[in-house]
Amino acid sequence: MTDNSSLEIGRVETDELTGDWDILTTSASGIGSLPSNVSDGDVVRVKRPDTPYIVTSQIKFDGVDGLTIEFESPLAKDGNPIMKAADGADIGGFIFGETTACSDITVKNYGWDGNRPNQGTATRLHGITTYQVDGFTLDEYDIRRTSPQEHGSGGSGITIYAGTTDYTIRDGYIEDPGDRGIQLGGDEGHIHGYKLQTGYDRAIAGDAQRPDGPTDKASHVVISDCIAYDITDGTAFGFTQASDNISMNNVTSVRCQRTVRFAGNGNNLRASGIHAYEHTSSSPVYILGDATNVYISDVTGYSTTEMTHCLWIAENADDVTINGADLHYPNIGFRGITVSTSGTNIKLKNVTLRGGTPNSDDLHLDTSAIIENSHFECGTGINITANSADTEFIDVRNAGSYTDNGTGTIINGEAIESAAAETPQGSYPIGTFVDFTDSGDGSGTGYYRQKRDGSFVQVA
């Protein structure tokens, strides 16, 4: 090993950094030489400096297994991230497995300042990046000012490319990233305890954009206990490619455009405990594209900013359930809730919409749906368009009126039907009352109830 002033072999015991180690480094040059000095199974410890270590060249680890790198703290003693890109260096933070695969990598107490104001024209200078890594853990981190600031080719805080499997990212902070906070393209991931402050694009993105064009997708990812503040140009937690098997729990956004967005042709998407405060554009939950098998529960939303929608299901989204949403918006600029997808099996359960009167509808249905145990209290009413067939409202309270241009609509157990027949012709749930008009000779006009065998009995 070289640079003995910064690399030592043995054991250290201080007030904060204890335990066995193979390499101890106390200088920027020692950190820079780590890729050429580490071996499989090594434990590296990095002392906490008074001011950040200034890194001058890109640090890449390839073909190493079982490596642990532990910093004494994510921050130098002056309160800034423990490592910082040198002026004009045009580098990002640590890179693992770009050329040769790695496995079982652990990084603890990681800190990186991308020094964006003083970098050149290089793109995608991420805070930390994995390419081909089987087993990766990032445990406590502080990443700031990655470079450049632009969509797609900007510097994200953490980038996980396809080829990374079984990864865990927990208990960290990202501030002012140049693109996404965390972008995910790997498989079998866990993200926990993450805070984004002053974001640009998404806090967590379910896709990772490569320099050569392809976009990796996230698969089998669990996200929990994450919060995003002040994102200027994107959804807090957005999965817009073919992400599949995504599960989120307890995610919060404050002053972001949207909180959760499922789009693309993702499948098996779950989110529970969605909290949206003072979001700045449209609905806290937005489901569109070809997203399918989506289940959303326990949504709370409040904002004084004018909202175009408070919930939105659009395009070809299919098999979507929202179960539990308390939405309070004093200033609704267009619609409260819009369901305009061409998909099927759409369900809204236990949804409450309160606030100012929308310019259009409390609820606008442009497709078939089941609306259950829900309250629409803004007063404009519910609009059921001609594209809606066999929509059913169960225990729904509507402060406004119903505009029903659909077919086979059931509202709180009652349907309205007209046909040239002696009895109702529609197929309804057992026990449904039907206000029927015989448009032929009128002899069958009356009020009916459907029996168990599918026939109708006239009750009035």
Of 130, 158, 131, which is closest to residue 144 (Cα–Cα)? Answer: 158
What pLDDT digit, counting tens, does each position of 183-221 carry? 999 999 999 999 999 999 999 999 998 887 779 999 999
Residue located via tokens 């569109």 = 288
pLDDT at 280: 83
Structure-token pair, residue 242: 């073919």
Question: What's the CA gap between 298 and 106, in Å, rounded?
Answer: 34
* Exposure letters 120-132 (e unless 16+ CB within 10 A, then b): eeeebbbbbbbbb
CATH class for domain 1-234?
mainly beta
Of 155, 179, 154, 184, which is closest to residue 169 (Cα–Cα)? Answer: 184
Q: Give 2 or 372, the one with higher predicted confidence.
A: 372
What are the structural domain ranges in the chain? 1-234, 415-460
> Is the backbone peptide bond immediately before 35 cis, with ω within 30 degrees of 0?
no
What pLDDT digit, counting tens, does each position of 138-192 carry? 999 999 999 999 999 999 999 999 999 999 999 999 999 999 999 999 999 999 9
Res. 356 pLDDT band, cuts 50 70 90: confident
DSSP state of 116: G
What pLDDT digit, counting tens, does each position of 248-289 carry? 999 999 999 899 999 888 899 999 999 999 988 778 999 999
Q: What is the 3-state secondary structure (H, E, C) of 374-427?
A: CEECCCCCEEECCCCECCEEECCEECCCEEECCECCEECCEEEEEECCCCCCCC
Residues facing residue 372 across a β-bridge: 349, 394
Measured CA to CA in angstroms, residue 194 lies from 13, 200, 229, 297 at distances of: 30, 16, 11, 21
Q: Out of 44-48, 102-106, 302-306, 370-374, which region has the weakest mean confidence (pLDDT)? A: 302-306
**Do 55 and 28 touch, CB atoms closer than 8 A?**
yes
Res. 8 pLDDT band, cuts 50 70 90: very low
Question: What's the CA gap between 219 and 222, in Å, rounded?
Answer: 9
Mean pLDDT computed over every residue of the chain: 93
Handedness of CA 243, 249, 252, 258 (dihedral sign): positive
Whether pTM > 0.85 for this model: the answer is yes
